[in-house]
Amino acid sequence: MSAHLVEKALELLCGNYIFADRAQAAAEGIRRRLAAGEYDGLDEEALGERLTAELFEVCQDKHLRVRTRAEDEREALTKPELEAVWREQQRLSGYGIARVERLDGNVGLLDLRFVTSADVGGRAIAAAMDLVSQTHALIIDLRRNRGGAPDGAVFWTSYFFPDGETHLNDIYEGATGQTRQFWSHAWLPGERYLDRPVYLLTSEATFSGGEEICYNLQAQGRAVLVGETTKGGAHPTDRFPITPTFEITVPVARSVNPVTGGNWEGTGVKPDVAVAAQEAFDVAYRLALQHVLASATAPTILAEARSALA
C-alpha cells in the first residue's frame, strides 16, 4: 500500500512542482528508499511526515508537504469539490477575520488568521475596513496568520494605496510559463486607509499569504512590521488528493516582487522593529498612541491616548 501512495505522490510532485529539477532530484532519492523498503509498515500519518521531511531536505520548501487530510475534506476529490469545501470553511470562520476593534486612543485593530480570496470574502474585508476607517492608526495582527489567496492579499493591501497605480506583486506560473501581475485596485468598496500609519504584528508562525501582506507593504514603505521574522513560504500552492484521506500540497508558481526582484521564500520577512511575538502588540500600540498624541486635535481622543499610554 505504501508503495502505491509514494508513487502517486511523486507523480503529482514531478508533474506540478514549480522547480522541476528539484522535484526530479527529490523523487530519485525517495524511490531509492522505497526500493529499500524504508517505508514498509508506515501508516499514512507517519508516511506523510517522513516524505515531507525528505522533500524538505532537497527542496527547502515549506509549502511542499504530504499529509493526512482533514475529516471534512475527505469526500472532496475533484477541484470543484475542494473549492466548495474551502468556501464553506471560509464562511464558517469569518473569512479569517477573528477580531475587529477600536482601541482607546482611536487606534484600529484587525486580527487576521488567514487571507480569504477577494471573490469569496470581499464583503467581509470591506466591512472590517469600514469599521476601522476613521481611526488615527491601524494595527493588523498577523501573528497567527497561516496564509491564503494572493488576490485576497492584494485586496487587503489595496486599501492602503490611493489608486490602481501600485504594482504589488508578480506570480510566475509554471504550467503556462506566464507571469501574472498584481496591482492595487483602482476601485474599492468603502474608504481607503491613507496617510495614517499601519503596524503589522508578525511571528515565526506567520506564513504564506500573511507574509505576502507583510512583504508587499514593507517593500512599498507603507507599513511598519513589529515582531519576529516570519516563517518563509512564498510559493503559491495547489492541493492534490492522493486518496480520500491523504494528499500532497505542491507549489505551482513563485512570487516575484516588482520592488525587490525577489520574495521571502526560505528567509521570511524581517520586521522593522524586532521584538518577541508576545510583545509585538504592546510595542505597536505604544507607537500608534505616540502618533495619535502627535497628530490628533480632538480633546477626547488625546485624553484616551494619554490614559492608554500611561
Domain ranges of the chain: 2-73, 93-233+268-309
Over residues 42-54, the mean pLDDT reads 96
Q: How would residue 85 be classed by pLDDT, with cut points 50, 70 and 90?
A: confident
Cross-sheet strand order for the sheet of 65-68:
65-68, 246-251, 237-243
Contact 112, 141 (CB under 8 A): yes
Q: How would residue 131 be classed by pLDDT, with cut points 50, 70 and 90?
A: very high
Instruction: Report, at the CATH architecture level, how domain 93-233+268-309 is classified.
Output: Alpha-Beta Complex (3.90)
Over residues 104-116, the mean pLDDT reads 98
Over residues 72-88, the mean pLDDT reads 85
* This prediction's pTM: 0.95
pLDDT at 108: 98
pLDDT at 72: 82
pLDDT at 86: 87
Over residues 250-279, the mean pLDDT reads 97
Over residues 301-307, the mean pLDDT reads 97
On the question of pLDDT at 2 being above 90, the answer is no
CA 211/CA 114 separation, integer angstroms: 10
pLDDT at 268: 98
Over residues 42-50, the mean pLDDT reads 96
pLDDT at 5: 96
Average pLDDT, the chain: 96
Give the dihedral of Cα atoms 98, 214, 68, 243; nearest 10 deg.
Answer: 110
Query: Which residue matches cell numbers 512570487?
Result: 255
The C-alpha angle with vertex 27 and arms to 22 and 30, in degrees rounded to 5, equals 130
